[in-house]
A and B are shown apart, each in its own frame.
Chain A
């Protein structure tokens, strides 16, 4: 029987990347320590700052919220209703249930009620890929919710697998502009709140395990719009490599941060200087009207 690395009791999970196994208590401790280390090393959240966690009802965002609350952070959640049938109904229910159970505050935004469109029909009308309309809406509305609510920082549940997959995609296309912005912390400036990803040291499997062991109900079903997208393909490719040589994903991502990312930042910084307020909503943008306001017009016509 596999033993816990920390207390030598019976283990419930093995993490090959760390060549370690843990019992429930020591695993939860391990997760909190990884988050603590990320927050400290990348200076994500300062003492007394107010955090807004982007909550989707999935394992990553609920685990992140749980860990931040347990660590004593002043962390509220924000949920964005995308109008994707049962998937959205369930994910909303899970987010609400978690907030109620913890007595935490959840800010709720509905695309359909508040902006007159949903992702399936709106993306079609605007002739955009659903995930691109969705990502754009999330970025814009989470920023707005943070600024409106007086939060210092937006925290998202991106984990090591997400970041490694995005990096893989960006490297395959040598998307140097994206490479310059792929950091665990984006500073708050030019009217944007700071953005942080405290789960970058934890893998996807660890986040699912965290929720199971903490008794957190999350939505296991996939968003139906994700099917066949490139992001999932990159994750599978990386997991095939990881199975052969554990630690590859972490070496790929952290090696990039340590030794390569700085080469791409000047371009990303240059793109940020030309920002002015959107003539429709006031959010910072390079054009006259921001991409989200543009999407709303096209999605609702």
Chain B
């Protein structure tokens, strides 16, 4: 599957099928810090991603001093 990552923007190819949580574990990402976007919606941790899927893994942490 195609995985788009942000900050910096880059694309990875990850073999599917794979559950979202397993994908995040593989990328060593904390599930509290990202969202997984498929099309114009989101997918939950247990969703199964197929080999021909395209997803975006978007970081949600923003941070200036407040």
Which A residues have a C-beta under 8 Å from some C-beta of B? 1-2, 11-14, 16, 21, 24, 58-60, 129, 131-132, 134-135, 158, 161-162, 165-166, 203-205, 207-209, 212-213, 215, 220-223, 225-226, 229-232, 235-236, 239-240, 242-243
Contacts and interface: CB of A to CB of B under 8 A. Distances in A.
Contact of A204 (B43, B61, B66): B61
Given A12-B42, A209-B35, A220-B6, A1 B47 contact: yes
Nearest to B9: A221
B38 to A, nearest CB: 9
A209 B42 contact: yes
Contact of B65 (A2, A229, A236): A229
> Interface centre among B30, B33, B45, by most A CB within 10 Å?
B33
A14 B34 CA distance: 12
B14 to A, nearest CB: 21
Contacts of A161: 61
Chain B interface helix/strand/loop/mixed = loop
Contacts of A60: 62
B: contact size bracket = 20 to 34
A16 B32 CA distance: 9
B37 interface: yes
Contact of B64 (A2, A131, A203): A131
Nearest to A204: B60
B2 interface: no
Interface string B27-61: 00011111101001111111100000000001111
B7 A14 contact: no
Chain A interface helix/strand/loop/mixed = helix
Contact of A205 (B7, B32, B44): B32
A208 B65 CA distance: 19
B42 A212 contact: yes
A222 B63 contact: yes
Q: Which 7 A-B pairs have the closest CB atoms?
A: A131-B65, A208-B60, A232-B63, A239-B32, A12-B42, A2-B44, A205-B60
A212 B60 CA distance: 11
A135 B66 contact: yes
Contacts of A1: 44, 46-47
> Interface centre among B40, B47, B64, by most A CB within 10 Å?
B64
Given A24-B41, A212-B42, A221-B7, A240 B64 contact: no
> Interface centre among B30, B45, B60, by most A CB within 10 Å?
B60
